Amino acid sequence: MKSLLQHCQLFSFFIVIGVITSCTKDFEKLNTDPVKVTSVAPGSLLAPAQFDGMWLITKRAHRLSNELMQYTVETGALNDFARYEFKENEFDAIWSTLYVKANDMNEMYKIAEKLNDVNNMGAALVMKAWFVSNLTDMFGDIPYTDAFKGREEVYYPKYDTQQSIYTNLLADLKRANTLFTENKPFDSSDLIYGSDPVKWKKFANSMRLRLLMRVSKRTEMNVPTEIAEMVADPVKFPLFTSNADEAMMRYDGIKPFINLFFEMSASEFSGSRRMGKSLMDLMNTTVDGRRFRYATKNTPGAYVGIPSGYTEQETQAFADNTGLKTSTLATTLKADDYPFPILTWAEVNFLLAEAALNGWISANAQTYFNKGVEASWRQWNCTWDPSGSTTPGATYLARPTVRFTGTTATLERIMSQKYIAMFFCGFESWYDYRRTGYPVLPVGPAAKNNGILPTRFEYPLITKATNKANYEAAAARIGGDNLRTKVWWQQ
């Protein structure tokens, strides 16, 4: 039997690092190499992929996306990110870990398929779609067709176009919807839904809705028709219908299943970060009841953020605020049992509000918008009002800068509220910004990259070094490997 290194040479430019570093040590019993061990129960591969993939996305969003989207502003050594400057190897860990996890799910599917284990086949397709969609949304064209052919000794995979990747992911999610069934066993180590096929089916369709909206500018993807078909038949294509359905990592606070921010030092998690002015101003003008879940108060007891895109010295002065200080990340976000979202009911409602606003579905966009705001408040355990009462939810929805009716029923209004709701939801707000241009974020005077908020990440250093010919072909095809090149769905 070939060695693990030989089998993973298909990722010779990224996987070697990933195999060594990506698996959480406490999940060693579950983190079985699926390429070497074909007799493993397919469902046992699910938990390590969920845990490691979720942690990679959450941690890197905390480090990168939160800075780009001005949720936070780093005042110390990582202040470069707010100015759109990155080290050459910054994206290597994202690339290697997500490919390892996607490969694990590809192997899980094949093992489950041999056993006709339809529920684990469906779960593998959904998780693989989540990992791969993040990869292609970050980088653009990436290896896909050749990327999981280690057994065939394809060591230098070609890069697929993003259009072909999305076509495959959307087909996989549509197929996953047909696989999940309550009448078949679902034995797995599932950390999200405890092996509930009904909720997994809703997750598959809600993920498909997310990805359809991502590519909605591309007429060749026929998105209006696809979304209309889903919404018109909720029995065949069930979506999330409450907060109880949403895909969350609800940590129990008992090792190994803990929020790993808990093990970060306070200084690494939040000590040198301050809340972004864009977010805090938006929430302050509406007296947003979620503020205490997101941020601390400054010395006088106010929620105060700082502007992004200034020099490190200027940023530190903003943070000091002439001695009054500014808000940092809420300490509760670091709790060992604090849950973080993959895909929420709030997001589904905002997606449907956008579809209704565009006239793709026969529905009231305001109703979905209001449900999205309420769902977000409830997700963050904030007090909402019963139907028909006046405080606090109804008051919030009636505020001039929140109200969604008449001339204020716009895409910008949807995306502004979605921006608030997507706090700590991976890289989703960055993807939304690149697709819609909302919310409008000021670019600071010290920003690099021609003052353009990055539209993609540059391909990792390890890829350039070890899969050079295919890298160069992909870079030429997309229009250059830089932070300003738009990915296919942005065109």
447-450: long-range pairs with CB below 8 Å, 24+ = 447/82, 447/83, 447/84, 447/309, 448/83, 448/84, 448/85, 449/84, 449/85, 449/483, 449/484, 450/484
Give the CATH number, domain containing residue 182. Answer: 1.25.40.390
Q: Is the dihedral of CA 244, 250, 252, 253 positive or negative?
A: negative
Q: How far is CA 429 from CA 64, 211, 387, in A?
A: 12, 13, 29
Closest CA to 97 of 174, 20, 158: 20
194 and 302 in a common domain:
no
Residue that terminates a domain, selected from 269, 301, 334: 334
- Read off the amino acid at residue 339: P
- Does 203 share its domain with 303? no
- Which letter does DSSP use for residue 153 in this model? T
216/328 same-domain check = no
Total count of domains within the chain: 2
Instruction: Yes or no: say if 27 and 256 are a contact pair by the CB < 8 Å rule.
Output: yes
Question: Residue 275's closest CA among 350, 348, 330, 226?
Answer: 330
Distance, CA of 347 to CA of 191 (rounded, Å):
21
* 95/155 same-domain check: yes
Compute the distance between CA of residue 289 and CA of residue 391 in angstroms, rounded to an integer: 11
Upper half-sphere CA count for residue 139 (Cβ side, 13 Å): 30
Let me know if residue 192 belongs to a domain.
Answer: yes
CB 304 within 8 A of CB 326: yes
pLDDT in tens, the chain (491 residues): 333 223 333 333 333 333 333 334 444 444 444 445 457 899 999 999 999 999 999 999 999 999 999 999 999 877 899 999 999 999 999 999 999 999 999 999 999 999 999 999 999 999 999 999 999 999 999 999 999 987 777 789 999 999 999 999 999 999 999 999 999 999 999 999 999 999 999 999 999 999 999 999 999 999 999 999 999 999 999 999 999 999 999 999 999 999 999 999 988 899 899 999 999 999 999 999 999 999 999 999 999 999 999 999 999 999 999 999 999 999 999 999 999 999 999 999 999 999 999 999 999 999 999 999 999 999 999 999 866 666 789 999 999 999 999 999 999 999 999 999 999 999 999 999 999 999 999 999 999 999 999 999 999 998 999 999 999 999 999 999 999 999 999 97
Last residue in a domain, options 276, 306, 334: 334
Residue 56 falls inside a structural domain = yes
- The reply to whether 456 falls in a domain is yes
Q: What is the pTM of this model?
A: 0.92
147 and 277, same domain (yes or no): no
Q: What is the pLDDT of residue 339?
A: 96
- Distance between CA 358 and CA 228 in Å, rounded? 11
Angle at 263 between CA 25 and CA 59, to 5 degrees: 80
60 with 194, same domain: the answer is yes
Q: Left if phi > 0, otherwise alpha if psi is -120 to 50, otherwise beta: which for 51?
A: alpha
In a domain, 244, yes or no: no
Phi, psi of 365 (to 5 degrees): -60, -35
Closest by CA position to 54, among listed 278, 248, 277: 248
Question: Both 64 and 205 in a single domain?
Answer: yes
389 within some domain: no
Same domain, 213 and 268: no
C-alpha separations of 285 from 205, 288, 291, 322, 366 in Å? 35, 8, 11, 23, 21
Nearest to 489 by CA among 184, 145, 213: 213
Determine the structural domain holding residue 309 and report its residue range.
260-334
Last residue of a domain, one of 308, 334, 360: 334
The Cα 81–Cα 367 span in angstroms is 37
Q: Do residue 212 and residue 281 come from a single domain?
A: no
Residue 281 lies in a domain: yes
Q: Is-contact 477 109, C-beta < 8 A?
A: no
Q: Which of 432, 435, 409, 410 is nearest to 420 (CA)?
A: 432
β-strand pairing of 340-343 with 273-275: unpaired
Half-sphere exposure of 127 (CA within 13 A, CB side): 33
Distance, CA of 74 to CA of 51 (rounded, Å): 26
Based on the domain organization, do 137 and 209 belong to the same domain? yes
Same domain (yes/no): 212, 295: no
Neighbours of 114 (CB within 10 A): 10
My answer on whether 85 and 142 are in the same domain is yes
Within a domain: residue 70? yes
Return the pLDDT at 388. Answer: 62
Domain-located, residue 149: yes
User: In angstroms, rounded to a whole number, what is the distance separating the alpha carbons of residues 450 and 447?
Assistant: 7
User: Phi/psi of residue 351, each to 5°?
Assistant: -65, -45
Question: What does the angle CA 267 – CA 134 – CA 290 come to, to the nearest 5 degrees?
Answer: 50
User: What DSSP string describes 275-336?
Assistant: EBHHHHHHHHTTT-TTHHHHB---TTS----B-SS--HHHHHHHHHGGGT----B-GGGG-T
